[in-house]
Amino acid sequence: MKALAWTMLIVGVICTIGYIAHGLTGDEFSWLNGWMAGPMLLVFFVPSLFRVARMMDGVSASGRVHRVFRDAPIGIGRVVGVARTGLSVNDRPQLEIRLEVDTTDGRTLPATARELVDLTDLAAVQVGSTLPVRYLPDGRASIAADAPPHVLQDALDRVQLAKGLVTEKQLHIARAGVDAQAVVLAMNPTGEVRLDRSVVRLALRVTRPDGSRFDVTQEKAVPPTAVPQLQAGSVVRVKYLPHDESEVTVLTRLVP
C-alpha cells in the first residue's frame, strides 16, 4: 500500500509540473488540460492512499505480524482501550487497541496495536483482556501471532518473575514439575492486592499420575481473567515436584 501511495505521489508531481507549464505557455483556457489530473491526484487521491497505508501499518496479508515487528521483544499487554479505525478488510474491522505492556525486565510501557480482528474474536480484545504482543520503542505493538506457545509461555513466566508475581521456586516447578490435575476445593480472597491481581487462598486436591491424591493450600496472586477458572469445583492443570509437595503451580490460560 505504501509503495502504491509513493508511486501515485510521483505521478501526481510529474503531471502537476506539466499542468503548470502548459497553463503558463497557453491561452486563458489552457489551465483546463489533460495535465489537470496531476493536482487532482495530489489533492484528493494520494492523501487517502497514505492514510490507508498508515492504518494498515503493522498488518500483513497473511495474518502474521508485519516485518517491522519480526524479532521485536514479546511482552504481555493488558487492553486499556479499543476503538474502530473505520477500515474493514473482508468484513474484518481494524481495531486500534491501546495497551499497557509488561516487559520481561519489569517495566510497563504504553503501546498501540492496529489489528484486523474477526467478528468472532472481538471478545478477546475487550478492555481488561491480556494479550501477548511484540512491541517497538516508538510505542507501536502487534499481537504476537507468529510466536510458538513455548515462547509465549516463557515471556509470561519472565514477566511474572520480574513483577514479583511468582518466585524462582514456582517458576522451577512450572518448568520441571510433574503434570497433574487438581480439583479446586475452595478459593477465598485474602483482601490483598498485588499490582492488579487479587491474592487468593487456594485449597487444591491434586491427583498424582498413579491415581493417589494429596491436598495443598497456598496463596497466589491471580489476574482477573483467571478467577473464573479457579472457582470451587473446577478442574485445573497443575505441576508439582515429587520430592516436595508443599507447593504446586497452577496453569491457567493466558487468554480466556
83-121 pLDDT tens trace: 998 888 888 888 899 999 999 998 999 999 998 888 777
Region 2-24: mean pLDDT is 47
| Digit-coded pLDDT (tens) for 125-142 | 888 888 889 999 999 999
Residue 204: predicted pLDDT = 95
122 or 46, which is more confident: 122
Q: Where are the domains of the chain?
A: 2-56, 67-150, 166-251
Residue 15: predicted pLDDT = 52
Percent of the chain with pLDDT over 70: 73
Region 71-78: mean pLDDT is 90
Ranking 45-59, 63-77, 111-125, 149-163 by mean pLDDT, the lowest is 45-59
d(CA 165, CA 54) in angstroms, rounded, equals 37
Is 166-251 in the same CATH topology as 67-150? yes
- The average confidence (pLDDT) of the chain is 77
- Fold adopted by 67-150: OB fold (Dihydrolipoamide Acetyltransferase, E2P) (2.40.50)
pTM for the full predicted model: 0.58
pLDDT tops 50 at residue 58: no
Residue 130: predicted pLDDT = 82
46 or 150, which is more confident: 150
CATH number for the domain running over 166-251: 2.40.50
Beta strands 108-116 and 140-143, pairing class: parallel
